[in-house]
Amino acid sequence: MNHFDYVDGILHAEGVSISDLAAKVGTPFYVYSSATLERHYQIFKDALDEQGLDTLVCYAVKANSNQSVLRTLGNLGAGADVVSEGEMRRALAAGIPADRIVFSGVGKTAAEMAAAMEEGILELNVESIPELDTLSKVADAMETEAHIAIRVNPDVDANTHEKIATGKKENKFGIDIEMAGQIYAKAMELPGVKPVSIAVHIGSQLTDLAPFRAAFTKVAETVQMLDNMGVPLERIDIGGGLGIPYSHGDEEPPLPKDYAKVVKETLGHLNKKIMLEPGRLIVGNAGLLVSEVIFDKKGDTKRFVIVDAAMNDLVRPTLYDGHHEIIAVEEAKNDEIHSLSDVVGPVCETGDTFTKNRELPEFETGDLIAFGSAGAYGAVMASTYNSRLLVPEVMVKDDQFAVIRPRQDYEALIGLDKTAPWLEENHSE
Ligand code: LLP
């Protein structure tokens, strides 16, 4: 459920009209509903609580790292799953305490490890033997002890898009689960690291519980083995990945309460704290990308709706064949003649296509449309390709709105480049 609905014929985000917002901030822009954000977090957390599980929900910052999003979730008690020093700094700046932050990722640099330890974050999830060795050296030199998880790769097919599947042997993530005993034994010997947790994450946008069950079952067996070895495991970090509905109808991802049951059934008997890293589930359906129609271009055989948003603003359709609903902001449009159309942006690539052959009403220049489910992996993946400005982000709460990131301006965009001194007009040898 989300808080984007028609009111008096105009799409609203909670109590705020999308067309009023467009008039105020210009298009394209992202808009997020704080009520939806809060609701999704709460439904997820409540489902786990109902199973009697002791949990820490560490929101995956990569899905949407805006300070206002982080603060909204942090205020509800969420921790943060970060994958770079930048994300860690964002989470801390938004007031999420260090002892609720977990640092994941296959390629942490020594400098990032040191920064994480300086801040005293809860745990670092280690994904390889060289990473373990480096972390041990860095921590030892700092005369500190890093609390770590080993991220295991359970070799489970997540049954999702190949670019976002992470739990098979051929993926770069984690350490082969069969080697867990060996690696934990090594970690117990090394100075500067203390293994207190085990981590797994098999992929994103999972629409079936079976892969979760398979992975968690393997992790449970490994935890029992590690317990027997005397590894002081306190926690199990089971990653994120629960999918969301992107379109009405065909896709029906599992409900949080059914996911929570699988967690309980597979891991509940181990008496460990369970950490979770949902990203998309929390923010995905809490955001829209709003765009204006530039032209409705009808050729002999094809129709193209050309809008002012492009692949640089929302890359999911071209990168993962991602489906996003296309919603007319004016409700009456839905009654107008429908025909098949591609929806494309102005970027000079055929890949700048949001959808192909979608049944859409007639549009005129200036009409507004919204791309649904754009809250996760939308703004965070934007670029300035074609020297297009990063678009603003707006957050709505009831009938209030706030621009939580203003539109970039051309001075900022071009000013990032520096002219090499020998190219300056007054340069002399
Ligand atoms: N934890 C780890 C270690 C991860 O790698 C990820 C996502 C998550 C948690 C959060 O997963 P979620 O709950 O959001 O599925 N840009 C892609 C998705 C990339 C996901 C990367 N890792 C997309 O737009 O579909």
DSSP string, 334-367: GGS-EEEEEEE-SSSSTT-EEEEEEEEE---TT-
The catalytic residues are 348
DSSP 8-state code for residue 56: E
- 241 Cβ contact list (under 8 Å, min separation 6): 158, 160, 201, 202, 203, 204, 205, 206, 212, 278
**Measured in angstroms, how far is the CA atom of residue 63 from the centroid of ligand 1?**
7
Instruction: Find residue 57's DSSP bridge partners.
Output: 276
CATH of the domain at 323: 2.40.37.10
425, part of any domain: no
Atom of ligand 1 minimally distant from the CA of 161? 25
> Do 209 and 117 have their domain in common?
yes
Query: In angstroms, rounded to a whole number, what is the distance separating the alpha carbons of residues 77 and 56?
Result: 9
Domain final residue pick, 251, 282, 313: 282
Q: Is 204 in the pocket of ligand 1 (CB under 6 A)?
A: yes
> Do 188 and 204 have their domain in common?
yes
Mutate to test the pocket of ligand 1, among 37, 62, 238 (most ligand atoms within 8 A of CB): 62
Tokens of 244: 């969301």
253, part of any domain: yes
Query: In angstroms, rounded to a whole number, what is the distance separating the alpha carbons of residues 274 and 276?
Result: 7
> Do 299 and 158 have their domain in common?
no
Query: In angstroms, rounded to a whole number, what is the distance separating the alpha carbons of residues 47 and 263?
Result: 10
> In this predicted structure, what is the pLDDT of residue 427?
75
- C-beta of residue 289 within 8 angstroms of C-beta of residue 392: no
Nearest CA to ligand 1 atom 8: 240
Query: In angstroms, rounded to a whole number, what is the distance separating the alpha carbons of residues 189 and 62?
Result: 33
Q: Is 277 in the pocket of ligand 1 (CB under 6 A)?
A: yes
Distance, C-alpha 11 to centroid of its chain: 25
> In this predicted structure, what is the pLDDT of residue 248?
74
> Do 103 and 236 have their domain in common?
yes
Domain final residue pick, 263, 282, 301: 282
Q: Is 272 in the pocket of ligand 1 (CB under 6 A)?
A: no
427, part of any domain: no
Number of residues that make up the chain = 429
Q: Is 240 in the pocket of ligand 1 (CB under 6 A)?
A: yes
Residue listed under structure tokens 């480096």: 134
- C-beta of residue 352 within 8 angstroms of C-beta of residue 344: yes
Say what the pTM is.
0.97
The per-residue pLDDT of the chain, averaged, comes to 96
Nearest CA to ligand 1 atom 7: 204
> Do 302 and 169 have their domain in common?
no
Query: In angstroms, rounded to a whole number, what is the distance separating the alpha carbons of residues 78 and 48?
Result: 13
Query: In angstroms, rounded to a whole number, what is the distance separating the alpha carbons of residues 254 and 208?
Result: 6
| Segments in the chain below pLDDT 70 | 1, 249-251, 429
CA atoms within 13 A on the CB side of 94: 29
> In this predicted structure, what is the pLDDT of residue 110?
98
